[in-house]
Amino acid sequence: MNGWFDRRARLWAAAAAVGGIVLLIGTKLVEDPDSSVGDVLLELVESLPVILTSVGLAILFQVTQRQHEDQMALIRDLDVARVHGQRWRAEARLLIDGLGKAMDEQFARWNLTQAERDVALLLMKGLSLKEVATVRATNERTVRSQARMLYSKAGLSGRAALSAFFLEDLLAPAAETTRASLGESGAERPRSTIQ
């Protein structure tokens, strides 16, 4: 609540409460100039809940208004992010499809079974062995065995090596990748990715 109830809001609330009290006392004294201090205090105590409720409603309105503005800003930001994501997916679709095809071809060269291919893809997506087992509706021991088999067939040491095999050159900026793939003589050197 402190984030919504800043210093300015507190000052306005205090000013409204003091103003309400002064207005009440002034009204009481105008209506009955012979009122004693006790009568004025009694009137004040009787009216205090109404004054505080009014101030509370004003604060609630202000907080609600700020929350609504924040919510609208968040919705706008999400819409912008969604548009950027759709644009990126559309621009990268051809590349993503090409990577998927190249991965399938590499899996075929490694002679992976369909189950091993599925496990490889899920592991590269970051799922744990337990999560892969849940997704594939099998037990964790089976998934562990399939993972070991695919690492063996691929000649890789484990999950990190599997991901690096396919992603190493994708994660470097384009200029850096070009520089790294060319030797000092300008001749292309062998790449460590899909063969």
- In CATH terms, 110-195 corresponds, of 3.40.640.10, 3.30.300.30, 1.10.220.150, 1.10.10.10, to 1.10.10.10
Please name the residues in contact with 15: beta carbons below 8 A apart, sequence gap of 6 or more: none
> What pLDDT sits at residue 176?
54
> What pLDDT sits at residue 192?
45
> What pLDDT sits at residue 172?
65
One DSSP character per residue, 24-85 reads HHHHHHHH-TT--HHHHHHHHHHHHHHHHHHHHHHHHHHHHHHHHHHHHHHHHHHHHHHHHH
Does 51 have pLDDT greater than 80?
A: no
Report which of residues 168 and 105 the model is more confident about.
Answer: 105
> What pLDDT sits at residue 115?
96
**Amino acid of residue 172:** A
Digit-coded pLDDT (tens) for 135-188: 999 999 999 999 999 999 999 999 999 999 988 867 766 655 455 555 544 444
Q: Where are the domains of the chain?
A: 1-93, 110-195
